[in-house]
Amino acid sequence: MCDTLVAVDTATADGTVILAKNSDRQPNEAQMLVHVPRARHEAGATVKCTYIEIPQVEETYELLLSQPFWIWGCEMGANECGVAIGNEAVFTKEPYGKEPGLIGMDFIRLALERAGTARQALDVIVELLGTYGQSGNCGFRNEEYYHNSFIIADPGEAWVLETAGEFWAAERVRDVRTISNGLTIGGEWDMASPGLVEHAIEKGWCKSADDFHFARCYSDFLYTRLDGCRARRRRSTGLLEEQRGSITAETMMAALRDHGPQAAADPAWNPSRGVLMDTICVHASLGPLRPSQSTGSLVAHLSPDLPTYWLTGTSAPCTGVFKPVYLGGAGLPDLGPDPTGDYDPDSLWWTHEQLHRAVIRDYAARMPLYRGERDALEAEFLSKAAGMRAKYRGANEEERAEPLVAFTASCFERAAEAAARWSESVSSAPVQRRPPRLFTMAWDKFDQQAGFA
């Protein structure tokens, strides 16, 4: 389960487009940050996606991906042209293909590799969907099958694309827009697949074109109700609407860390509360209704002069730090070995789990121990990033690459040093209020499965 948010120029403080996403996946499904250089490919070359090979294109763009370790595609990412995409699992009445094929995360990477604008990326996904369909297991330890929706943005515009099997509808974002794990487009759209309305009428999901509503006709009622998507989308939309016209990257970071109105009003709130996945920043628990947690986060500030990609590279944005990354000759510092589903203290993702999993054992008492220092560190990064944009506006890639590389590396290094201190202080703090037994049992099991120490 996931949430993707976007605000276009009319809604942001500086007139840019800003996209944000939390990727919610299984608790030990480590997510890694990946930099892929621009490349040229020989005629007749193919590309191996998660399950299948398809024809490669002549040239692919430079990419930045936040990627579940076992998947070729990504949950969210961006390319050198400033195109950024996030996807959501959606549950529909159309049958799910279980044979190996293209999955939603593959569509994102393929679109980022091949498209220089948001509209071109939409067209790439739609063309691939028509050629190959969407099918295949999308789960790590537990099999999961679903269809996909996307928010696709660039420095000039953003689009929502929602699919149900081979059918789809798309609308251009006019202000702010959020999606969770349910279809949202209704009776109006900017583009749609042929036969979208006629198929619904044939299936008896509506009586006529006048009665057609994409989300109502195509959504699977049970799963869409149980995944908590409606509560999350109401909350994410409300948070953006409250700040329409003044939305910044910080606004988006705060939204991705949000645990809902109850948590905002109650200092004693802890992540064991609740049954459904109905908060934007979500923590897994025991049982089938909350099997996932936020395992990676992105805020893409798509300034046309110098897009800045703020990534945690870690789970639970409420416990982590957003760090700036740039494309165009900059890329990522050394983040240690690529993570897997097994605990590795040398990888960025699993190193943070030492802090995250200690915090959630007594969230109300332990999170305040370092939240203020974390916020101050992040504010410093944001201030320096604004200075970078001002200083290197109009500079070519060669002029700005070295200082951007150094800045990104410094931010990751300082965040890692701080996280090590925080982990030590949090782990040594006495537990004042233990979570309920079922929550503790769930995390004991997750730790055991990963060999987490």
pLDDT in tens, 406-421: 999 999 999 999 999 9
Q: What is the pTM of this model?
A: 0.97
Distance of CA 249 to the CA centre of its chain: 15
Mark 376-409 as b/e (b = at least 16 C-beta within 10 Å). Answer: ebbeebbeebbebeeebeeeeeeebbeebbebbe
Spatial separation of the C-alpha atoms in residues 328 and 155, rounded to whole Å: 15
Please compute the mean of the pLDDT values over residues 114-127 and round it to a whole number. Answer: 98
Q: Is the pLDDT of residue 303 over 80?
A: yes
Encode pLDDT of 167-217 as tens digits.
999 999 999 999 999 999 999 999 999 999 999 999 999 999 999 999 999
Cβ(215)–Cβ(241) below 8 Å: no
Torsion of CA 284, 290, 295, 300, to 10 degrees: -130
In this prediction, residue 453 carries a pLDDT of 72
Q: Is the pLDDT of residue 250 over 90?
A: yes
Q: Is the pLDDT of residue 396 over 90?
A: no
In this prediction, residue 351 carries a pLDDT of 97
Confidence of residue 276 (pLDDT cuts 50, 70, 90): confident
Confidence of residue 393 (pLDDT cuts 50, 70, 90): confident
In this prediction, residue 415 carries a pLDDT of 98
Q: Is the pLDDT of residue 223 over 80?
A: no
Q: How far is CA 395 from CA 150, 243, 305, 328, in A?
A: 32, 32, 9, 11
Q: What is the mean pLDDT of the chain?
A: 95
Confidence of residue 91 (pLDDT cuts 50, 70, 90): very high
Please compute the mean of the pLDDT values over residues 76-102 and round it to a whole number. Answer: 97
In this prediction, residue 329 carries a pLDDT of 83
- Residue 386 corresponds to which tokens in the numbers above? 């604004």
Encode pLDDT of 355-383 as tens digits.
999 999 999 999 999 999 999 999 999 99
CATH number of 2-450: 3.60.60.10
Cβ(48)–Cβ(72) below 8 Å: yes
- Residue 93 corresponds to which tokens in the numbers above? 């009445």
Q: Is the pLDDT of residue 1 over 90?
A: no
Q: How far is CA 299 from CA 130, 198, 376, 380, 437, in A?
A: 30, 38, 18, 16, 35
- Residue 286 corresponds to which tokens in the numbers above? 């025991």
Cβ(201)–Cβ(225) below 8 Å: no
Angle 298-300-301 (CA atoms, 0-180°, nearest 5)?
A: 145
Please compute the mean of the pLDDT values over residues 12-19 and round it to a whole number. Answer: 98
- Residue ranges of the domains in the chain? 2-450
In this prediction, residue 364 carries a pLDDT of 95
Cβ(74)–Cβ(65) below 8 Å: yes
- Residue 213 corresponds to which tokens in the numbers above? 């509503």
Please compute the mean of the pLDDT values over residues 388-395 and round it to a whole number. Answer: 87
In this prediction, residue 399 carries a pLDDT of 87
Q: Is the pLDDT of residue 227 over 80?
A: no
Active site positions, annotated? 2
Spatial separation of the C-alpha atoms in residues 413 and 427, rounded to whole Å: 21
